[in-house]
Amino acid sequence: MLEETFGYELGIVLAGDGRSDSPGHSAKYGMYTMLELPANVIIDMQLVQSNEVGGATHMEKEGFIRSVNFLETQQGLDIDVIITDRHVQLRKWIRENLPDVQHLLDVWHVAKGFRKKLVALSKEKDCTDLKQWIDSIINHLYWSVMSTDSAEPNLVEAKWTSVLNHIVNIHTHNNELFPKCEHKRLRGRAARKKWLKPCSTMMVKLEKLATTTYLIRDLKQLSNREQTSSLEAFHSLLNHYAPKMYAFSYEGQLCRYIHVILMHFNENSGRTQQSTRSGELQYAVSLPKWKKGGHTVRKVLEEPTFDYVNEIIKDVLDRLTYPREDVDVRDVPPPLSSEYQRPTKETAVSQFKSRYKST
């Protein structure tokens, strides 16, 4: 039992996210992963085939439901908090079926979506000056959430909307929850940045983007504690063991996802940061293409280990040496083509020839 393994006394804190086996909206397989955040280990993965749920768009919800049922019913765990992306179907299901569970959203997913809208707006006529403020606006979004207690969602909204005044050089706000900016007198680069013009076309469009009902609702539900960044790292690992440009069978996906990748991640999830001989922690700076001249800083961790490989080899040899009859066999969903009736060769050839008959 997972409850005995981790010694849970209160409810667990989970991060969940889905991943399709191929880009686009016609994926065949969907995998949903549950990460236990305090321990930073994957505690469940569910593989769903699209014809099990009537289409690729329903796989993430089905994987989530299966995972919740497994953890609560079979493992006897009480879920306290779940952090996910902005998936509409999940939000509705959690609200209706898990009323006692606190459902929070990941900040990165919201910031990523809003950044795309800002970039698109900055390319419009008379809106090019917005480009220099995009990073600052996104940083302010993170700060609005992380600096506020989760019990004060209205304060998050007040802090967030204050950015519309700040970027036009107004630092007092008509809001008693957040009456003025908390920064000190601006100096250097921050003071030299070009302020935007109040009431301009660009500001009207920006205010409309920043105060939509959906965005404000999501901001109030964002997590100011744990995030799903470890799951994003796990998905990067998935791309190594199960690349999206290759097609695998159901059993192939299952073996890669649940047996190999899960074991590798859990074995190496607690790696510590490397240090120099003098004792200084090591960091690496990279210039990714998507940053367009910007840089990212990451911690240099210890080299990963692969002790789980020996366990797999030992298990295989044991099964070959001492065959067992009580082996669990998973039910494999029928192939997608099973939904259609395959014509005989004669019928197909006849229909092919009929296309070229003169009428």
The mean pLDDT value for 194-212 works out to 94
- Are 209 and 118 in contact, with CB atoms under 8 Å apart? yes
Q: What H or E segment, with its residue span, contains residue 14?
A: strand 12-20
Q: For residue 8, what pLDDT band results from cuts at 50, 70 and 90?
A: very low
Give the per-residue pLDDT at 10: 63
Give the per-residue pLDDT at 66: 96
Q: For residue 156, what pLDDT band results from cuts at 50, 70 and 90?
A: very high
Give the mean pLDDT of the chain.
Answer: 89
Give the per-residue pLDDT at 358: 57
The mean pLDDT value for 150-154 works out to 90
Answer whether residue 7 shows pLDDT above 60.
no
Q: What H or E segment, with its residue span, contains residue 346?
A: helix 345-354
Q: For residue 147, what pLDDT band results from cuts at 50, 70 and 90?
A: very high
The mean pLDDT value for 68-91 works out to 93
Please state the domain extents for the chain. 2-106+226-274+281-314, 108-219
Answer whether residue 197 shows pLDDT above 90.
yes
- Are 48 and 30 in contact, with CB atoms under 8 Å apart? yes
In percent, how much of the chain has pLDDT > 70?
Answer: 96
Answer whether residue 37 shows pLDDT above 60.
yes
Q: Which residue's entry shows tokens 């809208």?
A: 117
- Are 168 and 195 in contact, with CB atoms under 8 Å apart? yes
Answer whether residue 302 shows pLDDT above 80.
yes
Answer whether residue 190 shows pLDDT above 80.
no
Question: What's the CA gap between 161 and 303, in Å, rounded?
Answer: 44
Give the per-residue pLDDT at 9: 52
Answer whether residue 2 shows pLDDT above 70.
no
Strand-pair category, 12-20 with 29-36? antiparallel
DSSP-derived letter for residue 9 is S
Answer whether residue 126 shows pLDDT above 50.
yes
Q: Does domain 2-106+226-274+281-314 have CATH number 3.30.390.50?
A: no
255 vs 137: which has the higher pLDDT = 137
User: Mind listing the pLDDT tens digit for each residue in 210-258?
Assistant: 999 999 999 999 999 888 888 888 888 888 888 888 888 888 888 887 7
Which tokens hold the place of 342?
Answer: 């395959």
Q: For residue 4, what pLDDT band results from cuts at 50, 70 and 90?
A: very low
Q: What H or E segment, with its residue span, contains residue 102?
A: strand 102-105
